[in-house]
């Protein structure tokens, strides 16, 4: 059975990343994951840095979304993010280095703001690694 579709728009200051008809979206809000189907009640929610999944018929597409919020209404879902990255955009080596650097900063516990910044960096690098299908183990060699 063909499921009902709705419009998904993912927009950043740099580009219109996605503008497609989809059957379902799963996104990471600051309060946990939510899945949206067509005809969802109107909601505005703040997104965490995370991987967003959307279902286009049989296909599942993923995208990393950073610093965004989403408006869900009867006809469409609009995600407004600072940046959005496709799996192929991600430089795995760089993300891994960023993760290690962030971990180091957190362990060294420098100034308060440094640790906060490092935590955000860590979160972002983990999202990138998750999106590119890398194992997420945080143990060190």
Residues that bind other proteins (CB under 8 A): 9, 11-16, 29-31, 34, 41-46, 67, 69, 71, 73, 78, 80, 82
Query: How far apart are CB 56 and other proteins at their closest, in Å?
Result: 20
Helix, strand, or coil (residue 110): coil
Q: How far is the CB of 75 from other proteins (least distance, A)?
A: 10
Backbone angles phi, psi at 122, to 5 degrees: -60, -50
Write down the least CB distance from residue 8 to other proteins, Å: 12
Nearer of residues 9 and 105 to other proteins, judged by Cβ: 9
**Nearer to other proteins by C-beta: 61 or 71?**
71
Q: Which residues pair with 78 in a beta bridge?
A: 9, 71
Rounded distance, CA 88 to CA 70, Å? Answer: 24
* 27 conformational bin, left if phi > 0, alpha if psi -120 to 50, beta if neither: beta
């Amino acid at each position: 059975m063909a499921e009902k579709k709705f419009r998904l728009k993912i927009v950043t200051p740099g580009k219109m990343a996605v503008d497609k008809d989809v059957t379902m979206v799963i996104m990471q809000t600051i309060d946990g994951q939510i899945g949206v189907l067509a005809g969802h009640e109107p909601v505005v929610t703040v997104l965490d840095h995370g991987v967003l999944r959307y279902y286009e018929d049989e296909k599942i597409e993923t995208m990393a979304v950073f610093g965004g919020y989403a408006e869900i209404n009867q006809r469409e879902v609009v995600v407004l993010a600072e940046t959005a990255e496709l799996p192929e955009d991600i430089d795995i080596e760089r993300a891994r280095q960023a993760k290690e650097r962030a971990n180091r900063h957190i362990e060294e516990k420098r100034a308060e703001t440094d640790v906060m910044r490092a935590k955000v960096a860590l979160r972002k690098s983990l999202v990138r690694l998750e999106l590119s299908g890398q194992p997420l183990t945080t143990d060190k060699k």
